[in-house]
Structure 1
Amino acid sequence: MAHAEAYKEPGTPEEQSRRTFMANAVIALGGVIGISLTIPLVASLIPAADATNDQWSGLTPEQANALKKATADAPVKVTFNVHETNGYFGAADNEQFVWAVRASDDELKKARPELFDGSAKLPYDAVNMGFVVFSPLCPHLGCRYAWIAAQKKFICPCHGSVYSVLGTHEAGPALRGLDPLPLREYQGKVQVTWIEYAPNMPAHVVLKVG
């Protein structure tokens, strides 16, 4: 009985404050450790430009031609298949798409300097073949945004985030601009890597590749 009574006693205010401080310290330390472990993994998850692994998804000639029709003020939606292997459901081809925009390194660097040297710096080239391809997932909460030609803006209909043609965040609750994905031409084929980044964060934290 004495033990039961002792368990119910919360202790003095000083003891309670000390326990609260220690609990918060443990949580904070866990967060720091989690971030420190995540950052080195981000670059390792991204395929190298000369890699031949299956994280690259090939575009058909028709899809590649569609991509090459994109201009600096008229993005093109390019659909392609991502081959995914799941331990529970096996392998399957899932349809995804990107928004392609014609751009140069200098143009993108001027519009989006954070992609080259900042909190949202990418471990791969954002511009390849004279184009940048954006993930269709809104960086706010992962909804699918659309190109509104009349306004010349990418707009998310769910929560109102607005982006320029080069993906600069202009309005709404998103914490970063649109996410460029890896693009390359390899052995005569145009390829894209599908990457899903954590939403509602200013930095690029990888959730899924391929």
Structure 2
Amino acid sequence: MQDDSPHRSNEDRTAEMRVRLMNAARELFVAKGYVATTTPEIVSSARVTRGALYHHFEDKASILRAVLEREAAEVSAAINATDVLEGDELDALLTGASAYLVAMMLPGRTRLLLLDGPAVLGRSKMREIESRHGDDALRTGLDAAMSAGLLPRLPIGAISALLSAMFERAALDISDGQDAADYLTAVRAFVSGLAQLAPERAAVPGECDLS
């Protein structure tokens, strides 16, 4: 039951209403898909009025954008929360990859961020969302490993794009039931091949935990 206590500020009530709408929309988008979901269904699921929905969001697409922003922020936070107490820049890179795959295992997240988001908003809008939520983390990790001589100096934009595509495909396959550990092994093998071209011919770091 909604708390209408006078001690709660208008800002609190506004934020709560927005979250309720986003949560209801997310559940429906995941269960039915964006196209099949209607705004009346979102209103009914959130138990709010139609006017309340349009007070907070311009249309269904704007609700999706808000949901995607939140999903991307949570993935970024999960990656940034990882700490590598021992090891080198390659360890940090693979730990970040592991954190990404784990974060993407949240039910519905791959559909939202990797399928419905790009299909509805387009890749340029999705890149804007990604750039607001730590999209440069992979570039930073790669640059650190290259600067340390653990990876060869390669065009950072190109190698980052290739790795991102690999991680996204892995996340999609894992969401379809494939073994996450197999994909991290493949990522390690890819990094191992790159490392052999580095000035230091670095050894590949140890296994990353996906549990």
TM-score normalised according to structure 1 size: 0.24
Higher share in helix = 2
